[in-house]
Structure 1
Amino acid sequence: MNSSTVRYFEGLEVGETFNLGAETVTAEEIRSFGERYDPQPIHTDPKVATESMFGELIASGWHTAAISMRRFVDGIIENAGIAILAGVEVENLQWRRPVKPGDVLNAKAEIVGLEEWNEEHGIVQFDLAMQTDEDDLVLQMIKRVLVDRR
């Protein structure tokens, strides 16, 4: 992102939508994340996972949230050039269905609120969602971020 493409708080509008791209989830990534951060057998042991209510290995919800964060940074900060400083809050984080190996997750974000904060910053509220290629919603949240003003 170069300075001529930076988008500040004043240049954003409620209703703007952003395609944040897609990412394919692999069994190896699911196991690796699970072993490091959420070592439940449904995330780390394919044999045990097949005997669970899910019938197969599934990604940790936190892994799914981490993927959404990467898609958000790449799509909103890097590609759209929005001058985000930091996250402020996540509201209503929902994992709607388990993510499985081979799922292709498509992320999108919509600006649903703009809030004056101080002379230097504003708060932008995004509705962030990820769904599979089959249109199954896997994650949704409201994400509030601090954005530079001009």
Structure 2
Amino acid sequence: MPYWQDFSVGQRLSFGRYVVTREEVIEFARRFDPQPFHLDDDAAARTHFGRLAASGWHSCAMAMAMIVAEHERMDAIGSLGSPGIERLRWLKPVYPGDVLRCESEVLEVRGSRSRPEMGAVRSRLTVLNQHDEPVLEQEPTVFYRSRPA
């Protein structure tokens, strides 16, 4: 589905597989979110997490890795980036050993009035763990090229 015209409201996709490793959780946290419950087992055990937990921003980054891999799989050369995310919620902690996947539903598809060479697709993306529990939900808008005339 490389062009915005190839998407339709209600369309659903299920994709991705990302194994969360302890090393990656700690490395990401050291660089970008150095809170004790992302870095240290004892500190994490004293919180509501109960054990080492991935940063929410790391969860977003893992979701993005799965999205990019899916775009590559679909040969979605029409993707032109995103103007942003309207809604982002971290629903459950992500732990080392979790296996994540994505489900998306298209909410809106529209061509650009000012830039006819592109359009926008807004969707709801849910990241689930190996127990099919939602851990993250967001509503991104992504720009795609228009189908050539």
Give the corresponding residue for 1:126: 123
**Whole-angstrom CA distance in 1 between matches of 2:106 and 2:75:** 14
3-state SS of 1:86 partner: coil
- Paired residues, number: 144
Superposition TM-score, scaled by structure 2 size = 0.91
3-state SS of 2:28 partner: helix
Matched, 1:78 2:75: no
Task: Give 1:21's aligned amino acid.
Answer: G
Give the corresponding residue for 1:143: 140
Give the corresponding residue for 1:3: none
**Contact map agreement 2:122 2:139 (CA 8 A) in 1:** yes
Superposition TM-score, scaled by structure 1 size = 0.91
Give the corresponding residue for 2:14: 19
3-state SS of 2:50 partner: coil
3-state SS of 1:58 partner: coil
For structure 1, which runs of at least 5 residues remain unmatched after alignment?
A: 1-5
Aligned equivalent of 1:95, options 65, 87, 90: 90
1:124 CA displacement: 0.6
For structure 2, which runs of at least 5 residues remain unmatched after alignment?
A: none
Matched, 1:68 2:68: no
Deviation >4 Å, runs of 4+: none
- 1:87-111 CA-partner distances (Å, limit 9, x unpaired): 1120110000110111111112221
**Whole-angstrom CA distance in 2 between matches of 1:72 and 1:90:** 14
Change (3 A) 1:126 1:81: farther
